[in-house]
Amino acid sequence: MRMKLNKSSQLVLVSAAGILAATLVTACSQITETKTIDFVYVASSKAAGADNYGEINIFEINSESGKMRQIPASPVPSGGRYPISEAVSTDYSNLFVANHDDNSIVQFAIGTDGKLYAYNTVNTPGVFPVSIATSKDNLFVVDTYQPLPTCSVAAPCSGSIAVFPLAPASGSTQITMGTPATNVNVSGQYWPLTLAATPTDVVVPTGVAVQPSGKFVFVTAYDSTVTPHVGYVFVFSVGAKGVLTPVAGSPFAAGAQPSAIACDASGNYVYATDYARNQVLGFSVSAAGMLAALSGSPYPAGSAPAAVTVDQAYNYAFVANSTDSSITVYSANAGVLTRLGNYSVGLQPVAIGVDPSAQRFIFTANFLGNNVSGYQLQKADGSLLLSQGTPFPSNNQPTVVAAIPHNGTGGGIQ
């Protein structure tokens, strides 16, 4: 028997079928699509596991809410003790982690799902690495002490910088770290960070940044022998195979105790935080690599600024202030900074980053808070809104952050 349907009943069935089809499409979209915009790698210094290694928490950022969630494979061992610095290769395929207490750099290959796969470990040329940075062709590492038999914790000496050339392995796209560049002036694989006028003073390096072009590399440091301390930025031009040459006038005066340094996207400006004076120092970079103070520099920051980063798509800079647990936001006009406001984060932020995909999400590693704070940038005025669910738990005592885009190479807020 066949039941005859009236027009009204047919419309109801058609509508129901449409709803079902739409539901199936939506369900399929949820399965096949992801709202993850970036992966963030947060290294924690608190020892964990049988080998007392530090660990790396791997977070994914939701593109709509900014919520950060650890992926199932997180955390992973950092491959050494007290991870203190991270850097990502310019093609986002590798993460490099400097482990302070082991004098080592561990190289991880990054999967398309954000997972880390340990690939290689090398020793740093100097003693106790403090900061690393990458260009397309090189990995730069700054060590607390030069590799001299007379240098030790009991008898400190000035620090040094070394360069590992980066290149694809033979027959592979995987990046490999070459033999460190040689400085013929010292017959070693490092460049001393010393002062010509007072060569026996102990110069303590704190940070390193490299121009996007890879032409110049900048190192923050301070003379610990004098009181009060005196800060500097050492600048080197980068030659073939990573060989460094100090630029004329280097090192350049930089406050009392610079703690970190960052470049803008153009490479024409660099910014260094002055931990002792609660300031940010701004410099223009000449074609020859020489630094000149920007108008109005130094700029006021919060208490004990420990880290700085620059939004590479928009004219904003961000500083993490460790003692008052805040972010200071600045607008930048021809390099000159204008302070826009302060925002509270977790306890003792020591590292800060901007997501590389949309340049929209800001995050800090909070050393004593044992967590990560997240904010969303409002590009029109530089204000920050809390990300959903912030703060996000991490392993104990996080020290540094790095990030890669989930897909593509970024391009700003859409």
Of the chain, the percentage scoring pLDDT greater than 70 comes to 88
The pTM assigned to this predicted structure is: 0.89
Task: Name all domains of the chain by residue range, CATH numbers in brackets.
Answer: 128-300 (2.130.10.10)
Half-sphere exposure of 283 (CA within 13 A, CB side): 25
- Residue 60's DSSP bridge partners are 39, 69
**pLDDT for the residue 34:** 61
| Mean pLDDT for the chain overall | 89
Please say if the pLDDT value at position 82 is more than 80.
yes
Mean pLDDT of 45-61: 82
**121's tokens:** 């470990």
Please say if the pLDDT value at position 231 is more than 90.
yes
**24-33, 217-226, 235-244, 255-264, range with the lowest pLDDT:** 24-33
Q: Model confidence at 138, in pLDDT bands (50, 70, 90)? A: very high
**pLDDT for the residue 179:** 95
Q: Model confidence at 202, in pLDDT bands (50, 70, 90)? A: very high
Distance CA 370, CA 391 (A): 10
**pLDDT for the residue 9:** 45
Cβ-contact 328, 302 below 8 angstroms = yes
**Is the model more confident about 2 or about 172?**
172
Mean pLDDT of 73-94: 94
How distant is the alpha carbon of residue 359 from its chain centre?
Answer: 13
**pLDDT for the residue 53:** 84
